[in-house]
Structure 1
Amino acid sequence: MSAIEKQAAEETEQKKKDVSKAKEPGLPQNWKRIVITIWIGQAFSILTAYSSMYAGVWYVTETTDSALMLAIASLCSMLPQGLLSPIGGVVADRFNRKYVLMAADAFVGAMALLMGMIIFMGHVSVELVLVMSALRSVGQAFHIPAMESTMPLLVPKRHLVRINTLNQSLWSMALIVGPVFGIFLYTVIGFQMVLFLNALGCALAVATIATAKIPDFHDTSDEARHPIKSLKAGFATLNADRGLLVMAAIVMGVMAMYAGINSLFPLMTYDQFNGDGYMASVVEAAYGVTSLVGMGILFVWGGGHRLLRLVALSGFFAGIILVLTGLLTPDMFIFFVILTGVSGVIEAFFNGPLLAVLQKRVPPEKMGRVMGLFTTVSALSSPIGLALAGACAEFTGVANWFIIAGVVVSIGGILLGTLPILTKLDKEIAATFDEPKVVKRKVSSRSKKSEAGIEE
């Protein structure tokens, strides 16, 4: 009887998957043009957002000269996104994702315009900057799940890694250019003008999304109408797929360790290599440039079919690089720069394929909720990693913490690549690459048969 029940449950689950696939909208024929249109708008929005963010950081630095206030500013920019992303995912699944994206960009732009006007009237303060950082983070909590769950509706599965890499490169370029551009504009044209530019960038993003033809696909079930039930359904989707659940736990650990390490690079330059600001900037530039090189390689290659294996290898070798970095002596700064550059290339193969695993695995009608949960994992891992690294590095020393963190990251990579439940998940994801081709052949063969019947 148990075998019969098990078989019935499997048949029911398969029927649900078949129904989900049947409901999926077809990919638009001009999907490349749509993606490029969206990408251009997002490029202006993200660049101006990072510029205004770093202008705010510079204002807090000049005004308070306090590491505590800078830490509070960082928390204001991270915590709202981490806490609200699950709700943002629910909204992305419940409503038309095109309008969710437009509303999120419009909200951030309106807040930037309002803050700019307040500063223009002479009411600038540290508290105002903190509020602006928090409000921008709220907008991102709704924008990121909606954007990441929209891409699978526009892009063929075999190109998801490339598109994710393209989006990742945009964020990386913003991280490189944003601080320079933001602080330069802050000193030349003033804080309020940087915020006005941010509002203009958001307006352009809204305009490009408005002109893009994005399929209207969202969850119309009764469950989706109730926010709490809908949020529970997102957790249930992850819980039902134990492979994704295990992967999420390991990835959170790896991200937490890396978030802490990234904050220690300047201190590593100063303490271990007796460096100055110029040497620290060389290290940051080496990482930024080589990470773009790695993303370029991944964009051209596409990542292959075994995406989780690629993520695992990236994590393992990134950990090895951290261990080698911690073993360097004070007279080996040039090797520190080289290893940092190598890590930039290696780490580029982590995020893009990881996101594609989720996009291929999760049903489209629940994609927003799952992406929201993973955004929370990413956002909350940063403050956890920062707190852990700050406390532990005081006792172990910065160089020794690099070694410890490297060992943990490498173990995470090994687990991602060797646990049976994850190797099974990786093989199942690899099998989905062939689905579009198979469907196409079946359709073409059927059309040929129908044409032959007509001729007869």
Structure 2
Amino acid sequence: MKKNKNQQNKWKRDFLTIAGGQTVSLIGSAAVQFSLIWWLASETASPIMMSIAGVFAFLPQLVLGPFAGVWVDRLNRKTVIIAADLFIGLVALVFAFFFLFGNPPYWSVCVVLGIRAVGNVFHSPAIQAAVPMLVPQQELVRANGWSQFMQSGAFLLGPVLGAAMYTVLPLWIILLSDLVGALVASAMVALVKIPDPERHIKERTRFLDEMTEGAVAICQDRKLFVVTAATLFGMVFYAPLSTFYPLMTSDYFRADAWHASMVNFGYAMGMMLSAIFLGKFGTIKNKFPVIHLGLLGMGTSSLLCGLLPSEMVWFWGFAALCALLGASSNLYNIPYIAYLQETIAPDRMGRVFSLIGSLSSATMPLGLLIAGPIAESRGVSLWFFISGIVLLLLTLISALLVLPKADKAGKSTS
């Protein structure tokens, strides 16, 4: 009994040590990201330059993700996590010198955002693949709930900290906060022993063959394939909404920047409350009903946002629906990640997470190509309505294909 309690305390201590360090790093990165974007926006006032910066931030995951996943699975994951964190911090340190000795050209910010994103391409799948090596399988939903809670808090606090620092500090000092966060995160990871998975490789396989194994692992699980395919198709319509929130606030409701901050705050608070709930009641055997509940909430919230009248009194309804969107996104995301961590072979997990990350990144530019002209000519509220309809239809189709199978599987094992 005492041994079991010690083991339970050990995984919690190890996981929270890493998660705490990563949260500190995320706060620094979010502050730096906000400051760089705000500097670029205030200096150029150019939507084209902002769009280019967004493309640079997304491009590394789209292009390098499948390749990075192979290396995450080949190499020691602890080494990959620390190296990626330090890489991002060193990029910030080098760019800090450019601001220390003058104002760098605007395009250099786009390049730095892209280079920092290269580190995240390796860092995210390595962290996600390392979690099941530390956390017992039945506790994965709980652990991911804790992690998402801390990440949501970091994304909430980071821009606020970045805005406060931007008003009183030169940009080169703000950039150093990214290095400090990376050093803290790396030190926390170094304190924890992360077991590597057993790699069952009889002979050295080709790099491209290993890349395809990530896709094969998803396709072999019918339920996972259906949910993943439905979600990725839905993200083509849903992902552009992240760029339309400010326009809904400023153009549709004619509100100001303070109201826009309330939308971001509500979304982050929704994510945090959902993460707290799943962290507290996190032992979920059949995850697919919760996953579909999250998709249902995302679709319903988007649909209702598109139906709101443009009078200012309805803005608070929009802010409340954004909080529901944030909560629903975690209801989907946390059990989905936990299911991947439970069912995918540990020596393939990096490739699977990298592949899904790359495919998810591709939905944003593809979605904007479709949504941009429609939102420009007919208004952004119409796209909220369209994305809601599409998500609800895809949720219904996925549920009809997956949930009966999940129920049968649950009965057969009971």
**Letter of the 2:45 counterpart:** D
Listed as ranges, the matches of 1:258-337 within 5 Å are 258-302=238-282, 304-331=284-311, 332-337=314-319
In structure 1, C-alpha distance between the alignment counterparts of 2:278 and 2:8, rounded to whole Å: 24
**Partner residue, 1:398:** 380
Work out which of the two has the higher radius of gyration on C-alpha atoms and give 1 or 2. Answer: 1
Q: How many residues align?
A: 406
Deviation at 1:164, TM superposition (A): 1.6
Aligned mates of 1:60, 1:431 — CA distance in 2: 57
Q: Say whether the 8 Å CA contact 2:133–2:196 is kept in structure 1.
A: no
SS of aligned partner of 2:199: coil
Task: Indicate the residue corresponding to 2:113 in structure 1.
Answer: 133
Identity %: 33
Superposed CA deviations along residues 344-403 of structure 1, whole A, max 9, x for unmatched, are: 323320111111121112111111111111111222222223333222212332222211
Q: Which amino acid aligns with 1:413?
A: T
Q: Does 1:411 align with 2:393?
A: yes
Residue 282 of structure 1: how far off its partner (Å): 2.2
Contact 1:305/1:430 (8 A) holds in 2: no
Runs of 4+, deviation exceeding 6 Å = 429-432
What amino acid maps onto 1:341 in structure 2?
Answer: A
- How far has the Cα of 1:306 moved from its partner? 2.0
Please list every run of 5 or more consecutive structure 1 residues that lacks an aligned counterpart in the other structure: 1-26, 435-456
d(CA) in 1 for partners of 2:412, 2:179: 44
Separation in 2, partners of 1:295, 1:369: 26
Supply the distance in 2 between the matched residues of 1:423 and 1:383 (Cα, whole angstroms).
34
1:64 Cα offset (Å): 0.8
Task: Provide the rounded CA distance (Å) in 1 between the counterparts of 2:189 and 2:216.
Answer: 31
Equivalent residues in 2 for 1:141-156, closer than 5 Å: 141-156=121-136
Counterpart amino acid of residue 358 in structure 1:
L
More displaced, 345-354 or 131-140?
Answer: 345-354
Contact 2:133/2:195 (CA < 8 Å) preserved in 1?
A: yes
**Alignment-mate amino acid for residue 390 of structure 1:** G
Query: 1:16-62 CA deviation, whole Å, 9 max, x = no partner?
Result: xxxxxxxxxxx887111111111121111111111111111011112
Give the match for residue 368 of structure 1. 350
Where 1:419 maps in the other structure, the secondary structure is: helix
> 1:80 and 2:60 equivalent?
yes
Instruction: Please give the alpha-carbon distance, in whole angstroms, between the structure 1 residues aligned to 2:411 and 2:267.
Output: 30
1:49 counterpart residue number: 29
> What is the CA-CA distance between 1:303 and the residue it aligns to?
5.9
Tell me the amino acid that sits aligned with residue 336 of structure 2.
Answer: L
Q: Which amino acid in 2 is paired with 1:68?
A: I
> Which residue identity does 2:394 align to in structure 1?
G
RMSD of Structure 2 on Structure 1 (CA): 2.3
Q: 1:116 touches 1:195 (CA, 8 Å); kept in 2?
A: yes
Greater Cα offset, 336-345 or 134-143: 336-345
Offset, 1:267: 1.4
Q: Name the stretch that deviates more: 348-357 or 230-239.
A: 230-239
Call closer, same or farther: CA 1:177–1:387 in 2, change over 3 Å: farther
Partner of 1:441: none
Which residue of the partner structure matches residue 439 of structure 1? none
Structure 1 residue identity aligned to 2:354: G
- The aligned amino acid for 2:323 is G
Would the aligned equivalents of 1:28 and 1:154 in 2 still touch at CA under 8 Å?
Answer: no
Alignment-mate amino acid for residue 339 of structure 1: L
Q: Give the CA deviation at 1:123.
A: 5.1
Matched residues in 2 for 1:275 and 1:317: separation? 26
* Alignment-mate amino acid for residue 365 of structure 1: D
Q: Which amino acid aligns with 2:86?
A: A
Mapped partners of 1:294, 1:281: distance in 2:
20
What does 1:434-449 correspond to in 2, within 5 Å?
A: none
| TM-aligned CA distance change 1:69 to 1:118, over 3 Å | same
Q: Deviations over 1:192-239 (max 9, x none)?
A: 111111111111111111111111225251566632221122222223
Does residue 184 (structure 1) correspond to residue 164 (structure 2)? The answer is yes
Would the alpha carbon gap of residues 114 and 334 (structure 1) be closer, same or farther in structure 2, given more than 3 Å must change?
A: closer
Unaligned 5+ runs, structure 2: 1-6
Distance in 2, Cα, partners of 1:225 & 1:109: 34
> Structure 1 residues 228 and 134, CA, compared in 2 at 3 Å: closer, same or farther?
same
TM-score (norm 2): 0.91
Give the alignment partner of residue 377 of structure 1, picking from 359, 367, 373.
359
1:424 aligns with 2:405: yes
Question: Please, which of 318, 321, 336 is the counterpart of residue 354 of structure 1?
Answer: 336
What do residues 387-444 of structure 1 show as CA deviations (whole Å, max 9, x unaligned)?
3322221233222221111001111222232214x64357658989x9xxxxxxxxxx
* Letter paired with 1:99: T
